[in-house]
Amino acid sequence: MTCHNPTSFIDAQNGSIALVGHPNVGKSVIFQRLTGKHATVSNYPGTTVEVTRGAVRRWPDLFLVDTPGIITLPAHSDDEEVTERVLLNEPLRAIIQVGDAKNLRRTLLLSVQLAELGIPIVLALNMMDEARQRGIVFDPERLSDSLGFSVIPTTAVRGQGIDELHQALEAAIPSNFHLAYPREIETKLDETTQYIESHLTSPSPVSVRGLALLWISHDPVCENWLRQHLEVSTFTGLIDLREQFEKPSGEALGQHVQATRLAWVDRLIPTILIVPGNQKNNFAITLGRQTTHPVWGLIILAVVLFGLYEFVGVFGAGKLVGLLEGKLFTEIINPWITSQVTQLIPIPIIQEFLVGPYGLWTMGVTYALALILPIVTTFFLAFGVMEDSGYLPRLAALSNQVFARLGLNGKAVLPMVLGLGCVTMATLTTRIMESKRERLLVTLLLALAVPCSA
Ligand SMILES: Nc1nc2c(ncn2[C@@H]2O[C@H](COP(=O)(O)OP(=O)(O)O)[C@@H](O)[C@H]2O)c(=O)[nH]1
Ligand SMILES: [Mg+2]
């Protein structure tokens, strides 16, 4: 099964491979396809962000790391910071970028950023089934030629393209992708690269040009890394250098860098796209657009909140609880347990402790199973559907303006509204917030300012 090619990085060393890409593009499905069952999930050191690791089935010496979804570099959210820390601190042998074939523009923008790090990279263009359904046809080989690394179309849920992905990984070599920036940026980039190169105290995990690009874009993770790997005085020198670069125009270089990348992607796409596909008349897309419409969006939001209330409040907390607590426990289970306990244990105080009005069974277990369980189950089912359907980011876009004034992201609307019902559960949902600061703020607001009906 294993191909013994001594020059292949996969045979030569052990280390890890990182799965990187936007949220919800199929990274975790590909992770399962490549690793099989055994995976360990743990918080990334010093954060509450989860990272999954597992040995690659075909090459057991290599570990696959499933990173949190990122939108773009430089990192802005906790998730993006963790993913970038994986890129800079793990003994990486390769990156698999997982992208959505329906969204070539944003996928390729990230490809450019990742390729510039100079680590061997393969692009898995996933969701090919959906791209085909929309009539999108492109030329992966041509794309691969332009990028300088392999592009593998995949439909991860059906296991299509996974073999090809293995082969491409085996052949992957450090990417020599090189995007030429406008002259004035190149000059500054060169100077930064040379400065970093001549002062680093240990070898760089990614290409120094990649580091320099992140540095001039004010990337926080890269700054941290450089602070640790440069003498204090040289690090200050690097900051001075960047300030000096930014002085004449007064604007950040990162924006020019990003604009150049986007322009390159926009020129590339027409050359690889054979049929752009028809995205009109698709009900899901139309509905998706309407969810952020100022008027329709609010109506849809009202419908969603009403549905949430009907499912969790009326069905879960009303019907299910009534059935479980009222019928099953009060009428059938509890009388039986009470009679058993009173027969077996003739000591009143123990009887009272177990099955009295405030007994361990009659109150503790009954409430946990008949009251809390149905509510929590229906709640997390509904919440899962909202999360997986992609409604949450749209909801955030809708309510951003209101919450921006509180220094929060629009996603805060969900915990806030849920908090009117039950603050405990709402606190659990603060995990949708992107940074620790926002989670803390929302939790505080919930505790102090939102009246809880429960
Ligand atoms: N239609 C289709 N759905 C997919 C494909 N790959 C993944 N999915 C679905 O996309 C959703 C997100 O996948 P997941 O692996 O969790 O994405 P991640 O956020 O990148 O880890 C899940 O519902 C998957 O079942 C694919 O190739 N085609
Ligand atoms: Mg995932």
Please give, one letter per residue, the 3-state secondary structure of 102-117.
CCHHHHHHHHHHHHCC
Q: Tell me the pLDDT tens digit for each residue of 181-215.
A: 999 899 999 999 999 999 988 888 899 999 999 99
Torsion angles phi and psi, residue 52, rounded to 5: -105, 135
Q: Tell me the pLDDT tens digit for each residue of 375-417.
A: 888 888 988 888 778 787 788 777 777 788 888 888 888 788 7
Q: Which ligand is nearest to the CA of 52?
A: 2
Tell me how far the alpha carbon of residue 157 lies from the centroid of ligand 1, in angstroms.
7
Give the pLDDT score at 157: 92
* 316: nearest Cα among 392, 374, 245: 374
* Region for residue 153 given its phi and psi (left: phi exceeds 0; alpha: psi -120 to 50; beta: otherwise): beta
Q: Which residues contact 57 (CB under 8 A, 6 or more apart)?
A: 34, 35, 36
Cα within 13 Å of Cα(429), Cβ side: 26
Q: What are the Cα distances from residue 404, in Å, to 66, 408, 409, 410?
A: 31, 5, 6, 7
Are the CB atoms for 360 and 337 separated by under 8 Å?
no
Give the Cβ contact number of residue 368 at 10 Å. 11
| pLDDT of 285 above 80 | no
Ion ligand 2 — residues with CB < 5 Å? 27-28
Q: Which residues contact 12 (CB under 8 A, 6 or more apart)?
A: 6
Q: Whose CA is nearest to atom 24 of ligand 1?
A: 26
Report the pocket of ligand 1 as residue ranges, CB < 6 Å: 21, 23-29, 69, 126-127, 129-130, 155-157, 388
The residue type of 187 is: T
> Which of 20, 24, 123, 128 for mutating ligand 1's site (highest number of atoms within 8 Å of CB)?
24
Tell me how far the alpha carbon of residue 25 lies from the centroid of ligand 1, in angstroms.
5
Q: How many residues does the chain have?
A: 454
Query: pLDDT > 70: what percent of the chain?
Result: 94
Q: How far apart are CA 206 and CA 192, in angstroms?
A: 15
pTM across the whole model = 0.71
Q: Which ligand 1 atom is nearest residue 21's CA? A: 20
Q: How far apart are CA 215 and CA 29, in angstroms?
A: 33
The residue type of 334 is: N
Angle subtended at Cα 243 by Cα 226 and Cα 232, rounded to the nearest 5 degrees? 35
Burial zone of 32 (CB within 10 Å; 0-12 exposed, 13-18 middle, 19+ buried): middle
> Which of 22, 29, 64, 102 for mutating ligand 1's site (highest number of atoms within 8 Å of CB)?
29
Q: How far apart are CA 411 and CA 392, in angstroms?
A: 7
Q: How confident is the model at residue 100 (pLDDT cuts 50, 70, 90)?
A: very high
Q: What are the Cα distances from residue 27, in Å, to 91, 123, 259, 415?
A: 20, 12, 27, 27
Q: Please give the sequence-ordered ranges of beta strands (E in DSSP) within 237-321, or none if there are none.
A: 273-275
- HEC readout, 65-78: EECCCCCCCCCCCH
Give the pLDDT score at 282: 64
Q: Which ligand is nearest to the CA of 385?
A: 1
Tell me how far the alpha carbon of residue 24 lies from the centroid of ligand 2, in angstroms.
7
Average pLDDT of 252-261? Answer: 88
Q: How far apart are CA 441 and CA 407, in angstroms?
A: 9
Are the CB atoms for 152 and 140 separated by under 8 Å?
yes
Tell me how far the alpha carbon of residue 20 lies from the centroid of ligand 1, in angstroms.
14
Torsion angles phi and psi, residue 284, rounded to 5: -60, -40
DSSP state of 176: -
Token pair of 309, please?
């209330």
Q: Which residues contact 29 (CB under 8 A, 6 or more apart)?
A: 126, 156, 157
Mean pLDDT over all residues of the chain?
A: 86
Tell me how far the alpha carbon of residue 52 lies from the centroid of ligand 2, in angstroms.
9
Token pair of 60, please?
């057991």
Pairing of strands 15-21, 92-100: parallel
| pLDDT of 79 above 60 | yes
Torsion angles phi and psi, residue 230, rounded to 5: -130, 155
* 355: nearest Cα among 367, 330, 368, 337: 337
Give the Cβ contact number of residue 417 at 10 Å. 19
Most confident of 149-163, 235-249, 334-348, 394-408: 149-163
For residue 438, the SS3 value is helix
DSSP state of 341: H
Q: Tell me the pLDDT tens digit for each residue of 119-155.
A: 999 999 999 999 898 888 889 999 999 999 999 999 9
Cα within 13 Å of Cα(373), Cβ side: 12
Burial zone of 57 (CB within 10 Å; 0-12 exposed, 13-18 middle, 19+ buried): middle
Cα within 13 Å of Cα(328), Cβ side: 12
Q: Whose CA is nearest to atom 28 of ligand 1?
A: 127
Cα within 13 Å of Cα(332), Cβ side: 7
Q: Tell me the pLDDT tens digit for each residue of 51-69.
A: 899 999 988 889 999 999 9
Tell me how far the alpha carbon of residue 386 lies from the centroid of ligand 2, in angstroms.
16
Pairing of strands 50-55, 62-66: antiparallel
Tell me how far the alpha carbon of residue 389 lies from the centroid of ligand 2, in angstroms.
14
